[in-house]
Structure 1
C-alpha cells in the first residue's frame, strides 16, 4: 500500500520514513465496520457475533468518518475496512465508493465466508477497493481451518486469492505466527509465490482476546523468524505486524553488510532459523525465482501514523488495547488523533519506559506497544518480545569498538 506521504528510499536505506508530521495525521486508518462475523477464529482480538451491534456506525456516520479522514488533506491516509466480516454490512460497496470518491485509497479486509464470491470481489473492486487482504494461518487445511473454526476455509481462501489476482487487485496475505505454526512458514512461502501475493504480512500473536489460549514465540525465536524474513525479502515483499523490531534487524543487517560481515548474524541465530532456512532451500530448489530489491518497511507504530476505529466509533492506537481514546461520533477522528494524550505519548518513543526508551533504534522501531501492554500492563513499557540489548545498557566491553552484536 504505497502512499505519496512515504519518503522514497535511497539504495542504502533499510527503512522508509514518513515525510509528513505524524502528530498531524496518520498514514493508515483501520475501520472495523462491523463486529458481525460467522467465523470463530482462535486468535481473534475480539468476540465476534452473528449479528451487527445495534450501536455500530450507521451508513451516514461512516460517511462522516470518511469525510473527516479526507479533511486531513493530501497526502490522504489509507483507509482499510475490516471486521468482523466487512461483507456483513449491506452498505459496504456504498462506503467504498464514497471513500474512493473523496480521493481516499480504500482497501478491504474481508473474511472468507459464503458472502465472499467472485462476483462480490468484482463488485467491491469496481466500488473502489484497490487492494484486498486475506488471512492464511497455515500451510495446510488442518491448521488454517482449526484457526478459523470452520472446515473448508483453507481451500476457499486459495480460491478467493486467485479471484483477486484475476481481477488485478493488489493482494496482501496476513499470517499469524505462533509456536504451532512457525515451522510451516517455508511451505507457506511457496503458497504465497503460487498465488502471486503482492505482500505477505506476518502477525506476531498478541495474547489478547481469544488469542490468549495460543502459544507465542520467545524473543530468540522471533529474532530467528525476522532474519529468515529478511533472507526471503528479495523474492516476495514482506512486512510484520506487532514486530516493529524487524526494522531494527534490517538496519543492523545493512550495517553489517557495509562492514563486510554476514548480515544473517549466524553466531546468534538459533535452531529455528536454521530449520526454516534449510526447509526453504529444499522447497525452492529448482524453482525459477524472480528476485527484486527488498521492500523497505515503513516506520509507523500504534498511535504513531496508525490508528484503529472500532464498529461503534471508538478510536484506539491499534486493535489490541482495551482503552479507547475518544469516539468519532462525539468529537471527530481528526480531533482524537491530534489531541488525545495517550496517542500523543505514543509518538514520543524517547519517553518510553525501560530499554525501549533507551534504545538507539527507538525512532524506527519503538517496540510493539500491544505486546508491552498485554504482558506488562504498561503501554509505554518495554516490549517483552524483543531480545535486543540497547547500547546504553551494555557493559563497556560489549559496546561498538569492542564487541558488536548483543541480541539476547
Structure 2
C-alpha cells in the first residue's frame, strides 16, 4: 500500500523529559508484572505464563504503587500473564492515578469483552490510563498457528481489539506490540498495514524474540538477521521516519532502558523484563521497593555497565547501546554487541539453529 505520514513516535521515545530523566538519573516508567495467569497459547511467552498462575496480592501491589510514586516515577505499565485477569486491576489504575501516576495496560486481547472494553474506555476518559498495548504478532492465520496452539485465538484477539475501539477507547492510544519471530517477520508488511491503515494505530512496537520462557522450547522461531532488517526498514518507510533505523532492533532506546525497571510477580526487582531472575537486585517481599532503589539505582538502570564491540563504537550510541537482553541470550555476554542488529558487522544470520 501507499505510505502515508504517521506521527513520529520516535520523538516521544526521546522526548526532552525522558532525556533529562536519563541524564540526571531520574526514573520514568515501571513495568509491573501482576500475574502469570493467561488464556493465550503463545509459544514464545517470555514469562512462561500459563492458564492458572500466581498473582501478586492486592496489599503488596498497593504498597509498591506507593513506593513507585514516592520514587518519582511518572508511569506504570501493567503486564502479565494477562494483566486484565487480576481481579483488582481497575482499582490499581485508579489508585495509581490518585498517586500521580498514569497507567498503561498490556493484553493479548482475549479478556476484552464489550463489558471490559467499556470499563477500559471509561478509565481512559477519567485519565487513569493513557495507553493500552495489544499483542497480536501476525494477522496471517497460517503463520499465527506457527506461534500459537489454538486456531480460534486470532479471531478472538482481533474481536477484543475491535471491542475496545468500539467502546470509545481512542485507536491512536492503543499501541500494537509484535514479538518478532520468523513467522511474524515473514508477514510483517500485511500486519503493520492492518494495524495502521485498518485499525488506526499510530505506532507498532516490535520486540525481539528471546529464547527464554516458552521461547526457550521453540528456538527455531528465531528471526534471521535479513528478516529483522527488512522488518524495521519497512516500518521506518511506513512511518516516513528514518529515525527508527538509528536504534536498529533495540526498539526502546537507551533512554528508556536507563529510566525504567521491571517488577516480577514474585517480587524481583529487575533492570529488564527480558533477563533471567539472576539479574534481580532485590525482592519486595524481603524489603521495601524504596529501599532497594536507594541501594541499587544505577544497577537497575544499567548505568554502571560499559558495553563492548560495535555498540560501543556505533555512531548512534547517544540513544542506543544495543539490546542488552539480546546480547545475553544470544551471546551469553550482557555487555557484548547486539547480535540481532544489522548494523553490527559481526552479527550472524542465525544463532540458535
| Shift, 1:106, TM fit | 0.5
**Counterpart residue number, 2:113:** 117
Partner Cα distance (1:2, 1:165) in 2: 24
Matches within 5 A, 1:6-405: 7-8=15-16, 18-21=19-22, 24-53=25-54, 56-73=55-72, 76-113=73-110, 115-127=111-123, 128-166=128-166, 167-169=168-170, 170-192=173-195, 193-212=197-216, 213=218, 214-234=220-240, 246-248=245-247, 299-302=254-257, 304-322=258-276, 323=278, 324-337=280-293, 339-340=295-296, 343=299, 346-348=302-304, 351-388=306-343
| Shift, 1:344, TM fit | 5.5
Q: Deviations over 1:195-221 (max 9, x none)?
A: 111321112212222213143233344
Instruction: Work out whether residues 189 and 234 of structure 2, in 8 Å CA contact, stay in contact via their aligned partners in 1.
Output: no
TM-score, normalised relative to structure 1: 0.71
Partner Cα distance (1:370, 1:298) in 2: 13
Partner Cα distance (2:38, 2:268) in 1: 19
Partner Cα distance (1:5, 1:190) in 2: 22
Q: Deviations over 1:234-289 (max 9, x none)?
A: 39x997xxxxxx43469xxxxxxxxxxxxxxxxxxxxxxxxxxxxxxxxxxxxxxx
| Shift, 1:131, TM fit | 1.6
Instruction: Work out whether residues 370 and 379 of structure 1, in 8 Å CA contact, stay in contact via their aligned partners in 2.
Output: yes
Unaligned runs of 5+ in 1: 9-15, 240-245, 251-295, 394-406
**Coordinate RMSD, CA, aligned:** 3.3
Partner Cα distance (1:58, 1:122) in 2: 25
Partner Cα distance (2:252, 2:329) in 1: 24
Is the radius of gyration larger for structure 1 or structure 2?
A: 1
2:183 alignment partner, SS class: coil
Instruction: Work out whether residues 105 and 131 of structure 2, in 8 Å CA contact, stay in contact via their aligned partners in 1.
Output: yes
| Shift, 1:24, TM fit | 3.5
Select the structure that is richer in helix: 2
Partner Cα distance (1:358, 1:2) in 2: 22
Partner Cα distance (1:347, 1:379) in 2: 13
